[in-house]
Amino acid sequence: MIKPHGSKALNPLYVEDDTKREDLMKEAESLPSIIICSAAAGNAVMLGSGYFNPLTGYMNKANALAVAKDMRMTSGLFWPTPILNMVENPSAVKDAKRIALLDPNVAGNPVLAIQDVEAIETYTDDEMKMMTEKIFATNDPEHPGVKAFNTVGKTGIAGPIQVLNYSYFVTDFPETFRTAVQIRDEIKSLGWETVVAFQTRNPMHRAHEGLVKIAMEAVHADGAVIHMLLGKLKPGDIPADVRDAAIRKMVAIYFEPNTVLITGYGFDMLYAGPREAVLHAIFRQNMGCTHLIVGRDHAGVGDYYGAFDAQAIFDGITKDDLQIEIFRGDNTAYSKKLGKVVMMGSVKDHTKDDWVFLSGTKVREMLAAGQDLPPEFARPEVAKILMGYYQSEAAKK
């Protein structure tokens, strides 16, 4: 089985032992505490789940700047994005050596983790600008990732953490949320050796379904893991519960039995394009996948990235840095000529009229109006679920 990134075995930071975890919860009651931002909470969940192996906590300034600039920590470990606990005002935990981190996304702000404080460091405007530019390839405040990164404070609290729960992800998505440890164990129990991961923050239309099947066939995969983001998205994106229901329906009907795992992870979307694609590759390796599908505008938003920038970034990454392999997906669509979904670059005798295309705006308009989508574009069972969501949203306006 593929090794985790940076170590021989996973090092999840969730405290599994019930007695030890209860003792830590009691300790937390007496510790200085601070409500962290949603991004830091997502980082804690990913650290606890083993997805961010081999990290032991939040990065200090030296590591964050090095990662932003060169995708490498001061130790030499390959890593694409800073993993930070940024706060606006650290006064509540100033001079503390050990603090409780409170969850901003759950009512009552329960303790999410305990952190040993190694450093509290404030970033200069120039340092924030450099990190923003490197991570997102833009400083445009209209970019949702740039906005989120620059509105949570400029002070980082660095140090190792012990994670005490998985925030709202276990309760809200009990059938879908899985840790890297759980997925790795399930892949092993199934006897899968070659495993394709598919990242999604959206429901899967025929093109997505086809891309997964094309990738599985191309690499002779034993199975695929459809791995959906369950954290915060930008306004207008489809909620995770709707997306989950749509994907489950598609897999149940249109994939061979026992060839797909439907899972999700607790993290807020960065919309960082190429850098986020590399982060996706790292934590898919950590959960046991041998291949990650990187398609058109992977993890992108708007027009900030070129269609295949998220593939090109892997050209400079060696096997010494990352063992997982990338399956490079082209634009995928239903061919009227061939009667199936194909990668558009794989056929040469097609014109524009030979493809079934619908814009996102057109899809939303049709679903809100109760109009059926072409079956070549979306499976009717999937479209029905999405139609129910869009009609309910339209009724609220």
Contact 10, 4 (CB under 8 A): yes
Catalytic positions are 201-202
d(CA 308, CA 331): 10
**Adjacency order of strands within the sheet including 260-265:** 260-265, 223-229, 195-200, 291-294, 325-328
Q: 169 CB contacts (<8 Å, ≥6 apart)?
A: 45, 177, 230, 231, 264, 266
Q: 36 CB contacts (<8 Å, ≥6 apart)?
A: 44, 85, 87, 101, 102, 103, 104, 112
DSSP string of 17-48, one letter each residue: -HHHHHHHHHHHTTS-EEEPPHHHHHHHHHHH
CA distance to 84, 109, 112, 167, 266, per residue, from 105 (Å): 17, 7, 10, 7, 12
- List helix spans (H) across 260-321: 274-286, 309-312
Q: 189 CB contacts (<8 Å, ≥6 apart)?
A: none
